[in-house]
Amino acid sequence: MRKLLFGAVATTIVALQPMLALAQNQPGSGKEPAGAQNPITTTFSVNILQTIAVSATSLALPLPSSATITQPTKCFIGAPGGGITQGTFEPIRFVGNILCIDPGPNGDFASFVQNCPAGQTPVIEGVKLIKTEPLIPKCPDVYPGGTFVLYPQNQGIRTWFPLKHTPCETSFRLEVEFACVGPDPRAGGVRVVRQARVNVFTFTVKITADTLSWVVHALHNEPLGVCEVPCITDEAFFQLLLNQSNNIRTATAGLPGTVRALNTALDVMEATVVNRCLFLTSVAQVTTVGSTLVVNPCILFGSAGLWGNFTIADFGWGIVDTLENPCCCKLISDIYWLKLGLIGNDP
């Protein structure tokens, strides 16, 4: 069983490779064209959320022509006079967001080097992606922090990152090194490297007070392994977390006059999560009986095989945190960054 830890863990930093140099055309090489200079770095930044709002109807797939499949865009209720109809509550409102970086049809990130001067053509020399994840002191086993670098010549560059469990302030820094090639007036118009450039695109994961409830919804949408139970296992507790998220949003709207109320709202939600969380490595159990491997994928809930909505009454907890589904640590991380960003004190 895992426990919350309070303290610091050293962050591992992976050494960055040096930028690919265009030495044959740089100042001091004796071959530089007119106007050559040290690399020009241009930076572009985008903030992104861990979750995204969805319309339930947009998730609908084309149904078979027989129309015998019901698309559950709302929760089911009993129909007047008998039968089944759909109510007003949308079961899927928010899902985990995706950071998707499109490298283009040739996989060379050509669309990220379109700022050469007129008459010059970009030629890509090198690409790397640097992911920097912060340490979350209260959950260092899940979020130890660190910097990791991907290169095309090594593992390749990942362009698809699910963000639901990504801690806030994680940054993905795409660096594209390229040359702007154009005619050299001193050499009869021969095309040479006129500029060396680096375009830097930084994508930073953020949380806001009005989207904290989105994270609660997104965590509640997916099961713990094959157990068919979400990590927020108690349905009344799910509603409580939504209410507490809304209290934080309301207090934030009243800043700067409601700092104390906001601090209290943040502390109350964090304490509620910690108090009702069960920290585990896994919800499954793998044992051997003689020479036979025995797997129980949902040992967490005992041998009953099926359980109700109210796990606090039955088990004493309402949310489960595992290494693969760090639901408690994710909420604690978001509250940590909200307090740091809105109030300015390191919790």
**Under 8 Å CB-to-CB from 105, ≥6 apart: which residues?**
none
Residue 4 predicted with pLDDT over 90 = no
What integer pLDDT is reported at residue 15 of this predicted model? 30
- The one-letter amino acid code at 129 reads L
Can you give the residue ranges of every domain in the chain?
Answer: 12-16+35-51+96-206, 208-342
- pLDDT interval class at 111 (50, 70, 90): very high
* Lowest-confidence segment of 74-78, 96-100, 298-302 by average pLDDT: 298-302
* Lowest-confidence segment of 56-60, 111-115, 200-204 by average pLDDT: 56-60
Sign of torsion over alpha carbons 209, 172, 56, 298? negative
**Under 8 Å CB-to-CB from 20, ≥6 apart: which residues?**
125, 126, 177
3-state secondary structure of 296: strand
Beta strands 190-206 and 84-86, pairing class: unpaired
C-alpha–C-alpha distance, residues 255 and 184, integer Å = 58
* 197-256 confidence digits (pLDDT tens): 999 999 999 999 999 999 999 999 999 988 899 999 999 999 999 999 999 999 999 888
Q: What element of type H or E holds 311?
A: helix 311-315
Beta strands 40-49 and 190-206, pairing class: parallel
- pLDDT interval class at 24 (50, 70, 90): very low
Count Cβ atoms within 10 A of the Cβ of residue 282 and give its class: 0-12 exposed, 13-18 middle, 19 or more buried: middle
What integer pLDDT is reported at residue 62 of this predicted model? 61
